[in-house]
Chains A and B, each alone.
Chain A
Amino acid sequence: MPKDVKLVNQKGVRTDGRKLNELRPFKLEVGVLHNADGSAYIEQGKNKILAAIYGPREVHPRHLALPDRAILRCRYHMAPFSVEERKSPAPSRREVELSKVIREALESAIFLEKFPRTSIDLFIEVLQADGGTRCAGVTVASLALADAGIPMRDLVAACAAGKADGHLMLDLNDIEDKEGEADVPIAYMPNFDAVVLLQMDGQLTIDEFKEAIDLALDGCRQIYVLQKEALKAKYIAIKEEAEEVEGE
C-alpha cells in the first residue's frame, strides 16, 4: 500500500463509498447453529463472524466454579483463512487480549448471579476479517446470549470510531484501520448510557477523542436498533411458519 493513499476524497466519501458518519452494511441473524444453546451471525461490511453460547452448564474444571454466580468464559478466535496471510490457529497474544476485553464487556450485561456454580461459554469465530472484528464480535455475541435466553440488563452494541486521512470517521474498515491515524473501539449499553469496552490506539488530541466517542456512541445506538430487529425477526419467522402449518 503506498503511503500517500487517499482514504477520503474531496467530497468526504470513503474508499467503499460511505460518508464519514456512516456504518457499513449490516446483516444480522439469530439462531443459526443447531447444537449451541444460543447463536448468531453477523456480516458487517466484509466481516463475517459467528458466535455461539453453551450454558449455563456445569463448570469444567470444577474448581473454577463460583458459589454465588456463573462464570463467563470467552474465546475470540480467527480462522486461519480469515485474513490475507494465513493466521496460525494457535491463539495469538492479540486473541488472548481481545477474549479478555470482550468477556469483561459482556459480564456487566449478564445477570451472572442467577446461575451460581455454572459457566456460560462464549465462542466467537471470525470467518472473514476486515477491520473492527472485536466490536462486531461483541455485537454478535450479545445476540447469541439473548438467543440462549440468558437474562441481560441490556443488549451490548459495539462500534469503533477513528481517524484516517485527517478525518474523524465511524466504523473503520481494514484499510482505514491499518493506514489511518487512530482507532477507538467502544461497546455500550444504550439503556444505561454505560460504556463497557473502551480501547484506543493511534494519536488523537483530547478534542478529537471526545468527538470520536460521540461518533462511536451514535454508531452503537444505530446498531442497537438493528440488533433488536434481528432478535424479533427470528420469532416472526417462527410465527409465520406456524401459521402456514395451521392453514394446511
Chain B
Amino acid sequence: MTSRIISRIRQKQIAQLIASGKRLDGRGLTDYRPIQIETGIIGKAEGSARVRLGKTEVMVGIKIGIGEPFSDRPDDGVLTVNSEFVPLASPEFEAGPPGEDSVELARVVDRGIRESKAIDLENLCIIPRKKVFVVFVDVYVLNHDGNLIDASALSALGALTNAKIFKYEVKGEEVEIKPGLVELPLANFPIAVTFADISGKLVVDPWLDEEEVMDARLTMTFGKAGKLCAIQKGGAGTLSPQQIIEAADIAREKAEELRKLVAES
C-alpha cells in the first residue's frame, strides 16, 4: 500500500508539525479521531458491527456454524478471523486473493481475541473430537483512511458483544438445532492501540497521510486489568527500547478509554 503518492512538501509538513508536537488535522499526539460504534446492523449475521474512526470505516460480521475441531485442539471450538480489503474502500485495493497487509490485519485482530481469551473456546465444544462451534469473524474494510487495525479490532469486538449462538441438543452423534438464541459469552475485551513513529515521535491512531510518512508502526492490544495480550510492529523503521516502553504506558491508558466506549455502545 505504499504506492499512494503524497507530495514531498506535504510529507515534510506532517513530519515537521509532529516534531513540534502538533498534527495536521489538529489532534494532539495521543488523540484518537472521533469514534462511532454501531452494533447489530446485519440481521442475517449472528453478530455484527460497524466502526467509524474518522473517515476509516470497517464492518465486521460474525457467522457461527458447526464444524470439526482442529486435531491438536480436539475439545475446543474454532475461531477464524479473515479480512477483506474490499475494492470499493480505496483506489489502492484490488479484488483477488488477500495480500500480505490483509493477512497481517486479520492475524493481528485474531491474536487480540485469542490471546485475551475473549471467547472461551472450550465452551464451544459440542461433541468432543467430533463437533464444535466454528466462529467466523469477517472483517470488511469499507473505507480506508488509515489505522485499519484499531478500527477492525474495535469492530470485531463490537460484533462479538452482540453475537448470538443457537440453542441445540445432542442426540447420539447428531446435533439438533433448537429454536431460540443465547448470547455468546465474552470473557475479555481486547482493545488494540496503534502508533505511528514519525520523526522519532509516537502518534496514536495515524490517518492515511501519516501512515504514508511513518517509519514504523506499533500496535499493542490490552485486555482487562491492564494486561498486554498482543503486539505487532510493522514497517521498516526502527524503535528504541525506551519508545516501546513509553508506548506501552500510553496504550494502556488509551485502551481503557476505548473500552468504556465499547461498553456504552
Q: Beyond A184-B231, A198-B244, A206-B249, is A85–B238 a contact (Cβ under 8 Å)? A: no
A108/B227 in contact, CB under 8 A:
no
Residues of A in contact with B, size category: 20 to 34
What's the Cα separation between A203 and B237 when bound, in Å?
Answer: 26
Majority SS of interface residues in chain B? mixed
A213/B115 in contact, CB under 8 A:
no
The yes or no answer to B254 lying at the interface (CB within 8 A) is no
Which of B114, B115, B232, B240 is the one whose CB lies under 8 Å from A193?
A: B240
A101/B228 in contact, CB under 8 A:
no
Query: A196 contacts which chain B residues (CB < 8 A)?
Result: 233, 238
Q: What 0/1 pattern do residues 195 to 224 of A give for CB contact below 8 A with B?
A: 111111111111001100110010000000
Q: What 0/1 pattern do residues 162 to 204 of A give for CB contact below 8 A with B?
A: 0000000000000000000000100001001111111111111
B238/A198 in contact, CB under 8 A:
no
The yes or no answer to A93 lying at the interface (CB within 8 A) is yes
B244/A203 in contact, CB under 8 A:
no
**Residues of chain B from 211 to 226 with CB closer than 8 A to chain A in the complex:** 218, 223, 226
A108/B237 in contact, CB under 8 A:
yes
Query: A201 contacts which chain B residues (CB < 8 A)?
Result: 111, 114-115, 229-231
- The A-B contact count (CB < 8 A) is 94
Which of A193, A194, A199 is the one whose CB lies under 8 Å from B231?
A: A199
Q: Beyond A97-B100, A99-B100, A202-B229, is A195–B244 a contact (Cβ under 8 Å)? A: yes
B114 CB to closest chain A CB (Å) equals 8
The yes or no answer to B72 lying at the interface (CB within 8 A) is yes
B72/A85 in contact, CB under 8 A:
yes
What's the Cα separation between A205 and B225 when bound, in Å?
Answer: 9
B248 CB to closest chain A CB (Å) equals 5
Q: A194-B239, A202-B115, A206-B228 are in contact. List 9 more A-B contacts (CB 8 A).
A: A97-B107, A100-B234, A104-B236, A108-B237, A193-B240, A196-B238, A199-B231, A201-B230, A204-B229
B interface list, Cβ under 8 A from A: 71-72, 100, 103-104, 106-107, 111, 114-116, 218, 223, 226-241, 244-245, 248-249, 252
